[in-house]
Amino acid sequence: MSVVVVGSVAYDGVETPHGRVDRMLGGACTYISLASSYFAPTKIVGVVGEDFAREDENLLGGRGIDLEGLERVPGKTFFWSGVYSADMNDRTTLRTDLNVFADFNPKLPESYRKAPYLILGNIQPALQRSVREQMNGLRLAGGDTMNYWIKDYRHELLATIRDWDFLLINDAEARMLSGEYNLKRAAAAIFKMGPHTLVIKRGEYGAILFHRNWHFIVPGYLLEEVFDPTGAGDCFAGGFIGYLAERGFDLKNGHINPKELSRAVIYGSVLGSFCCEKFGVDRFRTLARKEIDARFEEFRTFTEF
């Protein structure tokens, strides 16, 4: 069943200890949809400028991603650049040119509105909310946010996530949003805001999924080499929602299978780990589903006891 992905489609300039790329395809919507496309029909909503390259469009289209909701408008595509610390756990933003993204006002094509799965990349909460309201018959909706919205747009953010099934953020964001340092208590506080499921991304340390009174924890995959962590969190999100869509996951029918949520977290982790193996979206040029499933099984071998 289909997944609708909303968020930024961008060009990134990235420098890591392994090298530097001045301009490459990026953006949350791009990474989420690439990851999701391995599991389920994926439709994107975003905006790009006249400079958006045909080969980048072809990469997305080649993965079967529905581009009907990708608006092309006069001007330049959103550009972001940043540099990672030596251990790649921190990054500094060098430049953010919103360009055409400044006036982004997502409008869903008619053919998107009945999709059962929706994932909202990190954009202004009011925009996330407007997309949610354009959809009918959702089985599962959720998304990401960031410190900026939590701090300066709290009221708007709370009005937005009230209608979400899941929130997918990192540990610092969960602490900031809830005002609780302890992650169990942070989850309990966030459940009172609306979502029944909270996924906390912990970078190299993996992820935790909280669902009501239950939780699941997965450690991070140990890579020999992390080339570029850009997009890893978004690929996690794409693997997570994509797998649930593939399984036709439906919380509303009351038959909640926690194992399906756990496996979605593993697939999220798998996609996030592949993302780091090359610069930008490069790993997705060759990645095959059988590699994904093999790494899913590898997670069993290093976590089972």
**Nearest to its own copies of 31, 249 (CB atom):** 249
In the complex, the smallest distance separating the C-beta of residue 301 from its own copies, rounded to whole angstroms, is 8
Strands 10-16, 19-26: pairing is antiparallel
Q: Find the shortest distance in angstroms from Cβ 234 to its own copies.
A: 22
Strand partners, 81: 13, 95
Q: Which is nearer to its own copies, 130 or 262 (CB)?
A: 262
Positive or negative, the Cα torsion across 172, 177, 179, 183?
A: negative
Could you tell me the smallest distance in angstroms from the CB atom of residue 222 to its own copies? 5
Amino acid occupying residue 113:
R
Tokens 């991070």 correspond to what residue? 220
Residue 53 vs 172, nearer CB to its own copies: 172
Helix (H, G, I), strand (E, B) or coil at 183: helix
Q: Are 29 and 45 in contact (CB under 8 A)?
A: yes
Nearer to its own copies, 121 or 229 (CB): 229
CB of 266 to its own copies, least distance (A): 6
Q: How far is the CB of 18 from its own copies (least distance, A)?
A: 12
CA dist 79 to 12, 93, 287, Å?
A: 6, 11, 26
Alpha carbons within 13 angstroms on the beta-carbon side of residue 93 total 5
Question: In the bound complex, what is the minimum distance in angstroms from residue 199's beta carbon to its own copies?
Answer: 14
Give me the long-range contacts of 155-163 (CB less than 8 A, separation at least 24). 156/124, 156/125, 156/126, 156/129, 157/125, 158/193, 159/125, 159/129, 160/125, 160/126, 160/128, 160/129, 160/132, 161/125, 161/193, 161/194, 161/195, 162/193, 162/194, 163/129, 163/132, 163/194
**What DSSP designation does 230 have?**
T
Binding site for its own copies (CB under 8 A): 86-87, 181-185, 202, 205-206, 208, 215-220, 222-226, 259, 262-263, 265-266, 299-300, 302-305
Identify which of residues 17 and 75 has a Cβ nearer to its own copies in the complex. Answer: 17
Nearer to its own copies, 1 or 217 (CB): 217
Q: How far is the CB of 203 from its own copies (least distance, A)?
A: 10
Nearer to its own copies, 259 or 290 (CB): 259
Angle, helices 258-275 vs 28-36, to 10°: value is 120
